[in-house]
Amino acid sequence: MTTIAIIGAGPGLGVAVARRFGREGFDVALITRTTDRARTLSAELAGEGLTARGFAADVRDLKALEAALDAATATLGPIEVMQYSPVPQREFMRPVLETTPADLVGPIEFSVYGPVAAVHQVLPGMRALGRGTILFVNGGTAAVPHPDRAGTSLAFAAESAYGHLLHGALADEGIHVAQLVIPGAISPGHPRKDPATLAETIWNIHQDRHGYRHFADDLDS
């Protein structure tokens, strides 16, 4: 079987997606900011009988991100599915009139340079397989900019555009590129935004391979 790489994996959505794909026979590569979190999450999943390994990389450190994806491939095998879903840092979300050029460096590194580096790292393996799924997970400002969250509004818009371009450019190669927009907070027990429910949505996007942008919930939620 092949591998799903979850970039920005955490104990909520990341672990839920790992479980959902793991039940289908995928090996799981969990890429997190710290080694401790990578070990903890992978051990939890391994305890449930899944094949999971953790790798540490900050998505703003492109060399570390590339190395983590290389290590995941070497350890687990070809990456068929890549989910890019790290949680933005709070300082990225400043009011637009207070946002300076320097304030945009972090969001752009996080939501543009990181995704581009990750895609370039996994694309050769997907092409060799003849199939693949690349999924970008974003908050609601990817679709509707918010004046108090200028950094993510601008950077998510750029990430969305990049993904949309990839969606068209890679479709004929059997590589599906999609975006899931999750308005508001991921909420355990919520009918549409519970982590397990979102994981099922992501599995369906991977299986159905239809369309680029998908919404987990209404934008005003």
pLDDT tens digit sequence for 164-175:
999 999 999 999
Query: How far apart are the C-alpha atoms of 17 and 24, rounded to whole Å?
Result: 11
User: Could you say which DSSP state residue 67 is in?
Assistant: H
Tell me the per-residue pLDDT of 7-16, one tens digit each, with 9 for 90 and over. Answer: 999 999 999 9
Mean predicted confidence (pLDDT) in 1-24: 96
User: Quick one: which of 183, 66, 185 has its CA closest to 115?
Assistant: 66
Choice between 145 and 219, residue whose per-residue pLDDT is larger: 145
Full-model pTM: 0.96
Q: Look up residue 61 and give its amino acid.
A: D
Domains and CATH numbers, the chain: 3-215 (3.40.50.720)
98: its two tokens = 């207070």
CB atoms within 10 A of CB 100: 8
User: Could you say which DSSP state residue 110 is in?
Assistant: I
